[in-house]
Amino acid sequence: MAGIAQKLASNQKQVAISEFFEKNKHFLGFDSLSRSLITAVKEAVDNALDACEEARILPEIKVEIKKLDSKKDIVQLKVEDNGPGIPQKSIEKVFGQLLFGSRFHAIRQSRGQQGIGITGVVMYSQLTTGKPTHVRSKIATESTAAVVDIGLDTRKNKAVKSNQGREGWFLQDGSMKHHGLEVTTQLKAKYQKGRQSVWQYLRMTSIVNPHAEITFTDPEGEVHHWPRVTERLPRKVDSIKPHPHGIELGQLQRMLSESKDSRLSVFLRMNFSGVSNRAAKELCAAAELEVSTKPKQMKPDDVRALLEAFQGERMFNGKPVKMLNPPTNCLSPIEEMLIKKGLSKTIDSRFVTTITRAPNVSQGNPYQVEVGLIFGGSMASDKPVEVLRFANRVPLMYQQGGCLLTKAIESVDWRQYGLEQPGAKGVPKGPAAILVHLASTNVQFTSEAKEALAENEEVIEEARKAMLEMGRGLRKHLEKKKKMAKTQEKFELINDILPAIAAKSAEILDKPIPDLAGSITQIMSAVISETNTTWNKETKQTDVEITLYNYTSRSRAYTILATWPEKEGAKMLGNETGGRKEAMGVWAWKLETLQPGQKYVIKYSLDGLEKGDWVDTDVFYRGSQEVIGAMKMDEKYLEEIRNQEQILKEMSKQNDELGESTEEEENRTQHTDTPEIDLDEIIASLGEPKVKPPNGQSTLFGGGQ
């Protein structure tokens, strides 16, 4: 890649960096004064989160914006983190060179797929204010912090350092900062409030990064704080090799021309995921190529034939060559419980439900859809629900209407789930917010502006399924709320009012207080269940108690089922009433007889959870007589749980099988990484169409090139 680019570059005239910026600012996120500020914050914060994640540090990020000159719209942005810091000699590369870093080539889910990088901010700052960007960096192994002002030589695309030195980095309490990075830059920008603002960007970031602590001081001096709600860091993601289904001609050509392998079959096995020894041979046969062909010397026609074999257009024994799906451990979903926490801390509400679908593969690219819905509380009920879109944990704030994730929301008839939606069209209305997160190694956007995801039927369908499941959850919640209110009333009636009527009437008539048992059975004439899920401070466990009362005149038999966070790694303790596992996360107890007037208590504790992880247990029943306070078991719901469980099982089996070669491959990618790319190549790549066909990669600087 770099080879071709350098050849091109030598033939091209040096383009002034300002011209490059001016021409392409809408791609780079600097097209308006308010968006420029969001983009700058985004680049700095994404870097901080990525750095902390790689170093396995719980992030603490402080963002501060000050107005320096209101007339000329000059603001100062300061972003400080507690990441590992950058060694002094690398600072100029990170801040002064476009696209420094290895993630550009690695195929895995990363935030950085979506931006030009922090260098863009340095550039924009210099072009609009003429000022350099001040960097302070402290790494753990050094006693002082490195400080330096970074500017750019706009002719040579090189960093210009000034005021370099070292200093102690003291915290407010007088102690020394252990490690971290602080970037201070001045830029022409406008601070705005509302749906498209720095505040909203940070709020959304905090939702999908519940492990981060974010503090924001706005230009008016107001401090916004989003606390950390979990100590769990996102899973460390692995890089994977490209999958034959997701590769393009140009990319295949480059890989072949750079290959040092001597045989095509070896090249296929070692450079792609999902290609076994057998598949490699079959691919060669399908493309009518010898296994011993030297990759470097393949002619264009041979390359095309190979690609056709990849795509199943050339067959082996009359069938497309079968390949394994790529492993999915390159994805890092946020996961249900953490989305729940993230949403709950940012939005005040009564009900949250989240669903993380099993990973899936579309055109050779692993992806995973996660959705969340938060309902009630202080949210406005007459406005469209708030849509929170994310791609690889990065908030998408513009072009909501044209985005695949929005379309998935609109494809659901929300009326049946308790939200308003005139004509079952468009974004529903109601006191709710809907979150959609797509995690993928190859996020496809509608345009270079990277704010809306391009249409992809498989992904829409997956997101839609998740929404439907969530909708059912909402409906269940609303029904349950109604039933609970009804149950509460009945209990108040028989526990408080009825005894008071008996006592008062006896008092007035001067007679003995009558027995209430008969009246109670007649009034209730139902089986009632009560469930309490509470956090036990002393044992650090979640205690669950389910009580079933038979207020009917006959004896009853039931199977009682309850949900519990098995997938999230909780352990069930002290469950003396036994029972058995019904499905992943669903436990069942069989109750042979419950006599009239009798009650039955199921008790257990959940270990391995944090406070707030599990606050509500869903209780279901199988049996003919309605149980007030529990839901009739929907067998379809169980089936869906079992399906997802099966998919997960198969996936992990596959990942295990592929595990060995993945490691091997990782070493190789590091060798072929080209950390530096120059401006000319980027300019060349910008000449390509802005919207590419769906299987094309339209991320400008990231993803699986």
Partner 1 sequence: MVQRFSAGETKDAMHQVVTEMYDKIIKGEPPTMTLPVRTKNNIGFDQKLGVYKYGKKKSVRDATSLGSAKQLLRALYVIEFIEEMIDAGKSSTLREMYYISESWGLGKFGSQNESNNLAEDLEIVTKCLREDFKLRPEEDGARMIGNLTLRERNRRGEWMRINARDDVGDSGYGVPYNVEAEKIELLENDIDFIMAIETGGMFDRLIENGFDEDFRCGLLHLKGQPARSTRRIIKRMSEEWDLPVVVFLDGDPWSFRIFASIAYGAIKTAHISEYLATPSATYLGITADDIVAYDLPSDDLSKKDIEALNAELSDPRFADSWWQDQINMMLELGKKAEQQSLAKYGLDFVTETYLPEKLAELGLA
Residues that bind partner 1 (CB under 8 A): 489-490, 492-493, 496-498, 500-502, 504-509, 511, 514-519, 521-523
Least CB distance to partner 1 at residue 558 (A):
24
The first and second tokens of residue 140, run together, are 């753990």
Which residue, 496 or 626, is less far from partner 1 as judged by CB?
Answer: 496
How open is the CA angle 676-677-679, to the nearest 5 degrees?
Answer: 140
Q: Which is nearer to partner 1, 68 or 517 (CB)?
A: 517
Determine the 3-state secondary structure of 34 from DSSP.
Answer: helix
Smallest gap from Cβ 522 to partner 1, in A, equals 6
Give φ, ψ of 438 to 5 degrees. Answer: -110, 120
Closest distance of CB 556 from partner 1, Å: 20
Interacting residues of 16 by C-beta distance below 8 A, sequence separation 6+: 154, 155
Q: Smallest gap, in angstroms, from Cβ of residue 492 to partner 1?
A: 6
Q: Are 605 and 543 in contact (CB under 8 A)?
A: yes
Select 517 or 601, whichever has its Cβ closest to partner 1. 517
Alpha carbons within 13 angstroms on the beta-carbon side of residue 226 total 30
How many distinct helices (H) and strands (E) make up the chain? 17, 24
Please choose, from the candidates 149, 150, 154, 128, the residue with its C-alpha nearest in 3D space to the C-alpha of residue 30: 128
Q: How many CA atoms, within 13 angstroms, populate the side-chain half-sphere of residue 91? A: 29
- Burial class of residue 361, CB neighbours in 10 A (0-12, 13-18, 19+): buried
Please count the other Cβ atoms lying within 10 Å of the Cβ belonging to residue 568: 16
Q: Would you say 58 or 493 has its CB closer to partner 1?
A: 493
CA separation for the pair 612, 353 (Å, rounded): 14
Angle, helix 300-310 to helix 277-286, in steps of 10 degrees: 120
Cβ closer to partner 1: 69 or 507?
Answer: 507
Tokens of 223: 């401090």
Tell me the closest approach of the beta carbon of residue 393 to partner 1, in angstroms.
48
Q: Indicate the residue among 102 and 522 with the shorter CB distance to partner 1.
A: 522
Smallest gap from residue 530 Cβ to partner 1 (A): 17
3-state secondary structure of 139: coil
Exposed, middle or buried by CB within 10 Å (0-12, 13-18, 19+), for 475?
A: middle
Q: State how far the Cα of 194 lies from the Cα of 220, in Å rounded to an integer.
A: 15
Q: Smaller CB distance to partner 1: residue 501 or 647?
A: 501
- Starting at the edge strand found earlier in the chain, the sheet holding 158-167 runs 158-167, 145-153, 133-138, 180-188, 74-81, 60-69, 213-217, 223-226
Cβ nearer to partner 1, comparing 496 with 676: 496
**CA separation (Å) from 357 to 327, 335, 476, 562?**
16, 9, 20, 21
Quickly list DSSP for 48-62: HHHHHHHHT---EEE
Which residue, 55 or 501, has its beta carbon nearer to partner 1?
A: 501
Q: How far is the CB of 524 from partner 1 (least distance, A)?
A: 9
Min CB(491)–partner 1 separation in Å:
10
How near is the Cβ of 506 to partner 1 at its closest, in Å?
7
Longest pairwise C-alpha distance within the chain: 111
Rounded Cα distance, 184 and 44, in Å: 10
Closest distance to partner 1 from the beta carbon of 483 (Å): 14
Report the nearest approach of partner 1 to the CB of residue 486 (Å).
9
Among residues 223 and 485, whose Cβ is nearest to partner 1?
485
- Interatomic CA distance for residues 688 and 24, integer angstroms: 13
Tokens of 167: 């200093």
**Among residues 515 and 592, whose Cβ is nearest to partner 1?**
515
Query: Which residue, 236 or 482, is less far from partner 1 as judged by CB?
Result: 482
Least CB distance to partner 1 at residue 496 (A): 6
- Choice between 509 and 576, CB closer to partner 1: 509
Contact 148, 133 (CB under 8 A): no
Least separation, in Å, of the C-beta of 505 and partner 1? 4
CB nearer partner 1, residue 515 or residue 635: 515
Closer residue to partner 1, CB minimum distance, 173 or 510: 510
Name the nearest CA neighbour of 191 among 212, 217, 215, 227: 217
State which residue, 515 or 660, has the beta carbon closest to partner 1. Answer: 515
Closest distance between partner 1 and the C-beta of residue 477, in Å? 23
Dihedral angle over CA of 561, 565, 571, 574, nearest 10: -40
Distance CA 665, CA 403 (A): 34
According to DSSP, the residues that pair with 60 across neighbouring strands are: 213
Helices (H), 287-348: 300-310, 336-346
* Least gap, CB of 490 to partner 1 (angstroms): 7
> Would residue 101 be called left, alpha or beta, if left means φ above 0 and alpha means ψ between -120 and 50 degrees?
left
Nearest by Cα to 239 from 622, 618, 597, 662: 662
Shorter beta-carbon distance to partner 1: residue 512 or 578: 512
Minimum distance of partner 1 from residue 499's CB (angstroms): 10
**Which residue in 435, 345, 444, 350 sits closest to 402, CA to CA?**
444
580 phi and psi angles, rounded to 5 deg: -150, 165
Q: CA-to-CA distance for 357 and 640, rounded, in angstroms?
A: 11
SS3 label, residue 47: helix
When the beta carbons of 6 and 505 are compared against partner 1, the nearer one is: 505
- Min CB(489)–partner 1 separation in Å: 4
Smallest distance, partner 1 to C-beta of residue 531, A: 21
Looking at the DSSP bridge assignments, the partners of residue 438 are 369, 391
The residues with which 61 forms a beta bridge, in sequence order, are 214
